[in-house]
Amino acid sequence: QRRVHGKKMSCEHDYKGLQVTTASAMAVQHINAFILEVLQYGRHWKVILEAVEADPTCAYANCLAALYWMAYECADKATACLNEAKAHRSGISRREEMFLDAVIQSSNKDIDAAIATHMQISMEYPLDLMNVKRGQVLCVLFGRKQEMLQLSQNSISAHQDDHFAWGMFAFALEETGQLTEAYAAVAKGERLLLDPKTTVCGEQHSRIHHTDPWLHHAMCHLLYREHKMDEALAYMLQHSVTWEHAGTFMYSHNWWHVALLYIGKNQHTEALDLFDHRIWVSNKSGTQEQLNAIGLLIRLDLRGENVRTRCIDVSMYAVDQTVWHKERLLDVLLAWLLERSEEHT
């Protein structure tokens, strides 16, 4: 417990030892599980709702629940969770309050302020890897490569034994052109991932049930950037079995990268087969899944493949205007798709 304005506040600590303002150990257990799901792009993000159920007054749990609903494009539910978080923000820790501010800022589309707040947290609380991840997601979406790298640089010394942190660092290094350092970061992450003594959320993990698809994604970017198509393809196919535990975005996105490698090798049949069986298979109303699908179709179209039937299929979901104006790139690709399909011009 700690005192705020003379009032006793109950506190627990997450798996990194960071304070969470709650009296519920169960809520923190679910928060830890959610953070792991986010870092490994798992398919069980919904666990954060159990944290809110365990302690409806936990501002941090409600804030993370808002991020869950944002990811699933449920704006009303996200707003409701943010309102609950704000209602219970009195007496929470500085870190929790700053994180809540950052999520509110991003929900209000004040991206500059949100990234700046995540940056400040990374400097004051480098152990907060969830903060770094959220900040880097915004940086990816809005092309802020240097800030993405800075977030990792501010925190990597606090996560020397965390392969998730090294995968995040590797991708930021690759995006800023520091390829030698990026390869070294991937190698460090892979050593930790393969080490049975590595702990995640305070527990030793099994290689069978644990994965880091973002680390694989970073390596693929590196190899593709250097036109090492054969090496990249072998690497991704070797690790692809571990993506079965990933959520729909990361699963389809890593397979999207594999399809790009096949296109780079002029193996269009293989790329089309991945589109049909790995990429355009689930959550078809999701913006990220549509980005993967259309981005692949336009590349195949430019190389002379007849993709009109597949374009028509995707367009059946893309005409839903609720997905419009959420991603700038998606808006551009949708304009091409709808014209190309000739069904909804």
CA atoms within 13 A on the CB side of 317: 19
The pLDDT, as a whole number, for residue 321 is: 75
Cα gap 212→41, rounded to integer Å: 8
- Cross-strand partners of 200: 203
pLDDT tier at 330, thresholds 50, 70, 90:
confident
Cα gap 263→34, rounded to integer Å: 36
Residue 311 in contact with residue 282, Cβ under 8 Å? no
CB-count burial class (<10 Å; 0-12, 13-18, 19+) for 231: middle
Q: Which element (helix H / strand E) includes 285?
A: none
Amino acid residing at 149: L
The pLDDT, as a whole number, for residue 326 is: 73
The pLDDT, as a whole number, for residue 79 is: 97
- Cross-strand partners of 7: 4
Q: Is the sign of the CA dihedral 188, 193, 196, 200 positive or negative?
A: positive
Amino acid residing at 315: S
| DSSP state for residue 242 in the 8-state scheme | G
Which residues are CB-neighbours of 172 under 8 A, at least 6 positions away? Answer: 136, 145, 148, 149, 151, 152
| pLDDT tens-digit series, residues 137-155 | 999 999 999 999 999 999 9
| pLDDT tens-digit series, residues 303-312 | 999 999 999 9
pLDDT above 90 covers a percentage of the chain that reads 82
Cα gap 93→98, rounded to integer Å: 9
Which residues are CB-neighbours of 316 under 8 A, at least 6 positions away? Answer: none
Output the six-digit token pair for 62. 């409600």
Q: Which one, of 20, 41, 43, lies nearest residue 31 by Cα?
A: 20
Output the six-digit token pair for 188. 């460090």
Say whether pLDDT at 8 is over 80.
Answer: no
Q: Which one, of 27, 28, 26, 48, lies nearest residue 37 by Cα?
A: 48
Q: Which one, of 27, 38, 138, 162, lies nearest residue 88 by Cα?
A: 27
Write the CA distances from 242 to 157, 245, 281, 311, integer angstroms.
27, 6, 18, 29
Could you give the residue ranges of the DSSP H alpha helices within 156-286?
163-175, 179-194, 213-225, 229-239, 248-264, 268-274
| pLDDT tens-digit series, residues 272-308 | 999 999 999 988 988 899 999 999 999 999 999 999 9
The pLDDT, as a whole number, for residue 6 is: 40
pLDDT (average), residues 242-253:
94
Name the average pLDDT for the chain: 92
pLDDT (average), residues 201-221:
75
The pLDDT, as a whole number, for residue 320 is: 75
Cα gap 91→21, rounded to integer Å: 8
pLDDT (average), residues 89-112:
97
pLDDT tier at 196, thresholds 50, 70, 90:
confident
Cα gap 50→65, rounded to integer Å: 9
The pLDDT, as a whole number, for residue 224 is: 98
Of 112 and 10, the structure prediction assigns the larger pLDDT to 112
Cα gap 247→228, rounded to integer Å: 27
Tell if the pTM clears 0.75, that is, is over it.
Answer: yes
